[in-house]
């Protein structure tokens, strides 16, 4: 700011104030006091500081500058600490989101695999039951041995045990998936293996469009 702009400002805003220009240096409080013949305590100095997103103007009298600056450094340090903590919190939040997404992804495909296994077990049971009924008839007519019928029943029981184990595993995984996505544990879930993949990252409008398309299908 030049002396001319200072004179123009006071001429417009406060014409009753006279701007005095010293012929000697007034760079420091001591020099300014000597130049104008006053006590150092009557000299005012201004400092403009940026604290975070704020700009602070400090007016000090004389040489009593230590305390205001100390308070400002404390404020700045506190702001720096808060900013670091916020950054760390956001980082942990993103890490948690990634961990939850991975967990949901793993549970989703494990359930799909077990559902396929369950369908195979059910088909095997139906085939064994049909074979067992055929063997019983063959035993009655003497065209097969009773041992073969017993073996058929054993295979049927084994398939049913496999189906029961698969259903228990599916129930457990379904509860884990409900818990991972924040649903009540007993929420019935139907998983669609044909849902199309969405890119890892997308713009907000693209993500919303993809979600709406999945709902329509």
What are 44-69's pLDDT values in tens digits? 777 777 776 777 777 776 655 444 55
Q: How far apart are CA 110 and CA 106, in angstroms?
A: 6
Q: Is the pTM here over 0.75, yes or no? A: no
194 and 108 within one domain: yes
Q: What is the pLDDT of residue 67?
A: 47
pLDDT band of residue 93 (cuts 50, 70, 90) is: confident
Residue 170 lies in a domain: yes
Helix (H, G, I), strand (E, B), or coil: what is residue 106?
helix
114 and 45 within one domain: no
Residue 91 lies in a domain: no
Q: How far apart are CA 12 and CA 158, in angstroms?
A: 100
Joined together, the tokens standing for residue 24 give 């000697």
Decide: residue 149, CB within 10 A, 0-12 exposed, 13-18 middle, 19+ buried: buried
Q: For helices 66-140 and 146-180, give the axis angle rounded to 10 degrees.
A: 160
**Domain that includes residue 122, residue range:** 104-198
């Amino acid at each position: 700011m030049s002396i001319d702009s200072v004179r123009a400002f006071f001429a417009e805003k406060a014409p009753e104030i006279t701007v005095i220009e010293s012929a000697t240096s007034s760079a420091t409080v001591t020099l300014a006091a000597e130049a104008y013949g006053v006590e150092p305590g009557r000299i005012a100095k201004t400092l403009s500081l940026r604290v975070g997103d704020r700009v602070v103007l400090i007016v000090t009298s004389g040489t009593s500058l230590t305390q205001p600056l100390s308070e400002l450094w404390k404020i700045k340090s506190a702001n720096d600490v808060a900013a670091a903590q916020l950054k760390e919190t956001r980082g942990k939040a993103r890490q948690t989101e990634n961990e939850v997404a991975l967990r949901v992804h793993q549970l989703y495909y494990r359930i799909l695999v077990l559902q396929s296994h369950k369908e195979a077990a059910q088909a095997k049971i139906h085939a064994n039951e049909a074979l067992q009924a055929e063997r019983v008839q063959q035993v009655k007519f003497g065209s097969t041995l009773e041992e073969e019928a017993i073996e058929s029943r054993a295979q049927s029981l084994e398939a049913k045990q496999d189906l029961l184990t698969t259903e228990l595993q599916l129930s457990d995984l379904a509860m884990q998936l409900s818990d991972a996505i924040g649903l009540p544990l007993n929420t019935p879930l139907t998983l669609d293996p044909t849902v199309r993949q969405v890119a890892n990252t997308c713009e907000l409008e693209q993500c919303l469009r993809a979600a709406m398309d999945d709902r329509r299908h």
